Chains A and B, each alone.
Chain A
């Protein structure tokens, strides 16, 4: 499968701080998705990006589809305790079936 490198691997931040994480690949993607996963649960979609350069917000979350189509980032502003979890990027390759491949994940811990 495809390798999507996500960084940082883990983050420990104070409540109220902003968070930034990114996902990079050597392949070109036509869609990027960002998910959050709580322990023992399936991932929940946060933001979907469909065009290179697209910048999309969902409340305190903002994500961008990189111009090169090989990367994406996710920002969380003014973090709160319930932001704790593992965040995954997922990319859909151009000219393939509808498969999505997942990044390595970023574990976020918010300290009250």
Chain B
């Protein structure tokens, strides 16, 4: 089955630094990847849609200069949280699809970001 690997699973960083999170599709080519953010005991909030070779599409209210997304290949998308602040602390999850509803959407295991 489709497997999505997300790395790192946990990261603690100092306020003001940047953090990069990777999302890889291991056994399929992902035409589209999505990045979500989840606060404790809350639902997943779509942040942006990433299509290989093009600029990401951000949801309303998500700062594109704050959350940089790069989808340079069909198997890798990265989310960089720039100049992180404590309020950026959250659970970030990616998902990937080969495209078309019949393929479904596979999620990574998530990254717990703590900014201190």
Residues of A within 8 A of B (CB): 1, 6, 30-31, 33, 35, 40-45, 48, 50, 88, 90, 92, 97-105, 107
Contact = CB atoms under 8 A, between A and B. Distances in A.
B43 A97 contact: no
B6 interface: yes
Nearest to B61: A1
Q: What is the predominant secondary structure among interface residues of chain A facing chain B?
A: strand
A6 B42 CA distance: 12
Given A1-B60, A103-B43, A104-B42, 4 more contacts: A30-B101, A42-B4, A50-B102, A102-B45
Q: What is the predominant secondary structure among interface residues of chain B facing chain A?
A: strand
A48 B57 CA distance: 25
Interface stretch (B68-76, B78-86, B105-113): B105-113
Given A42-B93, A88-B43, A98 B32 contact: yes
Contacts of B42: 104-105
B107 A1 contact: no
Contact of A50 (B59, B95, B101, B107): B101
16 contacts: A1-B45, A1-B46, A31-B101, A40-B110, A41-B109, A42-B4, A42-B110, A48-B101, A48-B104, A50-B102, A98-B49, A99-B34, A100-B95, A101-B46, A104-B43, A105-B43
